Amino acid sequence: MPAIVEVLDLYKDYFLEGHVPVHVLKGLNLSFDEGDFVALMGPSGSGKSTLMNILGCLDRPTSGQYLLGGDDVAHMSDDELSEIRSTYLGFIFQAYNLLPQYTVTENIELPLVYQGVKLDEKTKARCEALAEMVGLGTRLDHRPLQLSGGQQQRVAIARSLVNDPHVILADEPTGNLDSRTSVEIMQMLQELNRSGKTIIMVTHENDIAAWARRVVRLRDGVVESDVRNDEQPITAAAAH
């Protein structure tokens, strides 16, 4: 399987008060294959979200390379990064991040608006089919505040799929949900992965990480461990 996401010697520094540098990511080397399902774990502050933001083209590394589908993303313009997000990536957030003034259908179709696609019957049919797939076929005209957290996260999953992304990035998708609903969401993600989607997910919980095929642990900005759930652990040094 070819690597769809690859980071080489990735560094990320933040600058506090202008000059004091905080080294958050310290030379990461990671390679995720197409069709993989990766759980990113690690203690709070270890740099998981920072890495996800870079992988999601929302932020740029201080140094190092990020190859997405073989292309180096580091030197792209803001507009080009927006286009990559809109065509290549799907996002699922811990806080669902739906737009409260929009209906379920409108929330799902939002990424298409930014693709410059003309919204018509066909796109509408796709959005409604996605809503049905996540079990919300009867709630198309509901607004997010009329839905439970689990239902909102399903809408977010449908939204992340509407542009047929190569990679789905989920930062603590079950962080706000109870265990039963979490299981439903994970089943859904597993189903997606089985049908070919690459998923990179951050989680704090071992039983959530257990749904993934591969678990990468970060600590203080470096890879602490990297194991395949069905295999023996592989060490950080051997990961690449």
Ligand X SMILES: Nc1ncnc2c1ncn2[C@@H]1O[C@H](COP(=O)(O)OP(=O)(O)OP(=O)(O)O)[C@@H](O)[C@H]1O
- The residue ranges that bind another protein (CB under 8 A) are 53, 56, 58-59, 78-79, 82-83, 85-87, 91, 93, 97-99, 101, 110-119, 122-123, 125-126, 129-130, 132-133, 159, 161-164, 191-192, 195, 197
Residue 22 interaction partner, one of Mg ion, another protein, ligand X, none, beta carbon < 5-8 Å per kind: ligand X
When the beta carbons of 192 and 218 are compared against ligand X, the nearer one is 218
Q: Can you tell me which of 14, 101, 191, 207 binds ligand X, judged by CB under 6 A?
A: 14
- The amino acid occupying position 235 is T
In the complex, the smallest distance separating the C-beta of residue 223 from ligand X, rounded to whole angstroms, is 13
**Interface region with Mg ion, contact rule CB under 5 A, candidates 17-25, 46-54, 82-90, 157-165:** 46-54
In sequence order, which ranges of the chain are alpha helices (DSSP H)? 48-55, 78-88, 104-113, 121-133, 149-161, 179-194, 206-209
Q: Do 157 and 108 touch, CB atoms closer than 8 A?
A: no
CB of 91 to Mg ion, least distance (A): 14
Task: Give the span between the Cα atoms of 6 and 169, in whole angstroms.
Answer: 14
Residues with Cβ within 8 Å of residue 15, at least 6 apart in sequence: 21, 22
Q: Is the dihedral of CA 228, 181, 34, 24 positive or negative?
A: negative
50, 103, 163, 174: residue in contact with ligand X (rule CB under 6 A) = 50
Which of 38, 46, 185, 212 binds ligand X (CB under 6 A)? It is 46
| Rounded CA separation 66/57 (Å) | 9
Residues 152, 135: Cα–Cα separation, whole Å: 11
Closest CA to 56 of 193, 165, 134: 165
- Is the CB of 14 or the CB of 114 nearer to ligand X? 14
- Would you give the binding string for ligand X spanning residues 18-37, x where CB under 6 A is met? ----x-x-------------
- Which parts of this chain interact with ligand X (CB under 6 A)? 14, 16, 22, 24, 42, 44-50
